[in-house]
Amino acid sequence: MYEIAKTFTFSASHRLAGLPDGHKCRRLHGHNYTVQIRLSADDLDDHGFVADFAELDRAARWLRENLDHRHLNDVMDGPPTSERIAAMVFKQCAASLPGRSRLHLSAVRVAETATTWAEYRPAATAPKTEPGR
Ligand SMILES: Nc1nc2c(c(=O)[nH]1)N=C([C@H](O)[C@H](O)COP(=O)(O)OP(=O)(O)OP(=O)(O)O)CN2
Ligand SMILES: [Zn+2]
């Protein structure tokens, strides 16, 4: 299987109001989010591409138009965690991809900081855990 990826950024504010009293993330704050969108295929097209990287630009349009410089609590129902943002972006990007069965949106990864990330991928393509773990 081949996989391509492109990374996008957006800036937004949020607060995670359901966290315990005193947790710093209950307070209004913001992040420069990084979103990596990954597209896979079992074979390549006539150009030797999984898909033109421009396909990923199109998939990310929703992200730029709907999340950049927004307050994420206003955009989402429920807590705007990285995990839930990744799932939301995945669903939106999947809907905007061309309807060619050769291509699969394999994962969306969201990072709030340089050292943390959360990823959403459909269960069918999730890596298997080792027995006994
Ligand atoms: N599993 C998750 N945990 C946390 C999330 C999340 O989306 N998923 N989000 C937060 C907050 O948004 C917080 O702003 C980020 O927390 P953290 O990485 O701790 O941020 P810092 O830059 O302050 O990191 P330090 O290592 O503490 O300096 C919290 N948890
Ligand atoms: Zn935060």
- CATH number of the domain bearing residue 114: 3.30.479.10
Q: How far, in Å, is the centroid of ligand 2 from the Cα of 71?
A: 11
φ and ψ at residue 3, rounded to 5 degrees: -140, 135
Say if residue 100's pLDDT is above 60: no
Residue 110 Cα: closest atom of ligand 1? 7
Residue 24 located in a structural domain: yes
In the structure, what pLDDT confidence band is assigned to residue 131 with cuts at 50, 70 and 90? low
Structurally, the chain folds into a number of domains equal to 1
Q: Is 81 near ligand 1, meaning CB less than 6 Å away?
A: yes
Of the candidates 97, 25, 31, the one whose C-alpha atom is nearest the C-alpha of residue 61 is 97
Query: At 57, is the pLDDT very low, low, confident or very high (cuts 50, 70, 90)?
Result: confident
Q: Which of 32, 73, 113, 117 to mutate to test the pocket of ligand 1 (most atoms within 8 A of CB)?
A: 113
In eight-state DSSP terms, residue 15 is: -
SS3 95: helix
pLDDT band at 42 (very low <50, low <70, confident <90, very high): very high
Give mean pLDDT, residues 116-133.
76
- DSSP assignment of 18-86: TSPTT-GGGS-EEEEEEEEEEEEESS--TTS-SS-HHHHHHHTHHHHHHHTTEEHHHHSSS---HHHHH
Residue 71 located in a structural domain: yes
Identify the domain containing residue 35 by its residue range: 2-125
Model's pTM, two decimal places? 0.90
